Structure 1
Amino acid sequence: MEQIRVLYIHGGTLARGGTESFMMNTLRTISRDIHIDFVVHGDEKGVYDDEVEALGSSLMHVPIKSKDPLGNKRMLTKIMREGNYDIVHAHLNAMNGPALKIAKACGIKVRISHSHASEHYTQNPLKTYLNNRAMKSIPKVATDLFSCSQKAGDFLYGTHPYTIWYNAVELDRFAFDRNKQEKLKAELNLSDKRVYGHIGRFNFQKNHPQLIKIFEAIHREDPKSHLVLVGTGEREMEIQQLIHSLALDDAITHLGSISNVHEILNLFDLFVLPSLFEGLPYVLVEAQANGLPIISSDNIDQETKINDNFIFIDPNDIERWVKTAQTLELKDRSIDVQRFIDRGFELKSATQKLEHYYKERVKGNTV
Structure 2
Amino acid sequence: MTKKVLVFGMTENPGGVESVIMNYYRNIDIKRVHFDFLCNSYEPIAYEDELTSNGSKCFHFVARSKNPIKYHKELKTFFKKHADEYSAIWVNVCSLANIDYLKLAKKYGISKRIIHSHNSENMDSKLRGKLHEYNKKRLWKYATDFWACSEEAAKWFYDEKLLKKVVIIKNAIDINRVSFDEKKRQHYREKINAKDRFVIGNVGRLHFQKNQSFLIDIFNDYLKEDPTAICILIGDGEDKHKLINKVKQYGIEDRVLFLGVQNDIQGWLSAMDLFLFPSVFEGFGLAALEAQGNGVPVLASKDVMPYELKINDNFHFFGLGYSANSWAQKISEIKKNVDRIASDQIKHNFTNSGYEIKVEAQKLEDFFIN
TM-score by length of 1: 0.92
Stretch deviating more after TM superposition (181-190 or 92-101): 92-101
Instruction: Assess if the C-alpha contact under 8 Å between 2:293 and 2:346 holds in 1.
Output: no
* Aligned equivalent of 2:309, options 295, 304, 315: 304
By how many angstroms is 1:77 displaced? Answer: 3.1
Q: Give distance in 2, aligned partners of 1:270 and 1:338.
A: 22
Unaligned 5+ runs, structure 2: none
| Residues 1-367 of structure 1: pairs in structure 2 closer than 5 A | 2-10=1-9, 13-31=11-29, 32-83=31-82, 84-92=85-93, 93-95=95-97, 97-122=99-124, 124-159=125-160, 160=162, 161=164, 162-298=166-302, 299-317=304-322, 318-328=324-334, 329-334=337-342, 335-360=345-370
Unaligned 5+ runs, structure 1: 361-367
Q: Give distance in 2, aligned partners of 1:183 and 1:15.
A: 25
Q: Which amino acid aligns with 1:129?
A: K
Q: Which amino acid aligns with 1:136?
A: K
By how many angstroms is 1:316 displaced? Answer: 4.0
Q: Which amino acid aligns with 2:127?
A: L
Q: How many pairs align?
A: 357
By how many angstroms is 1:34 displaced? Answer: 0.5
Q: Give distance in 1, aligned partners of 2:17 and 2:6.
A: 15
Stretch deviating more after TM superposition (312-321 or 289-298): 312-321
Q: CA RMSD in A?
A: 1.7
Stretch deviating more after TM superposition (326-335 or 17-26): 326-335
Q: Give distance in 1, aligned partners of 2:238 and 2:340.
A: 37
Q: Which amino acid aligns with 2:330?
A: T
Percent identical pairs in the alignment equals: 32
* CA deviation string 1:174-195 (max 9, x = no partner): 2112343233222321112111
Q: Give distance in 2, aligned partners of 1:214 and 1:125.
A: 29
Q: Give distance in 1, aligned partners of 2:251 and 2:63.
A: 40
Q: Give distance in 2, aligned partners of 1:136 and 1:14.
A: 30
* CA deviation string 1:209-267 (max 9, x = no partner): 11111111111222132111111111111111100110111111121111110111000
Q: Which amino acid aligns with 1:37?
A: D
Instruction: Assess if the C-alpha contact under 8 Å between 2:86 and 2:110 holds in 1.
Output: yes
TM-score by length of 2: 0.92
Q: Give distance in 1, aligned partners of 2:98 and 2:151.
A: 18
Structure 1 pair 332–27 and aligned structure 2 pair: CA distance change class (3 A):
closer
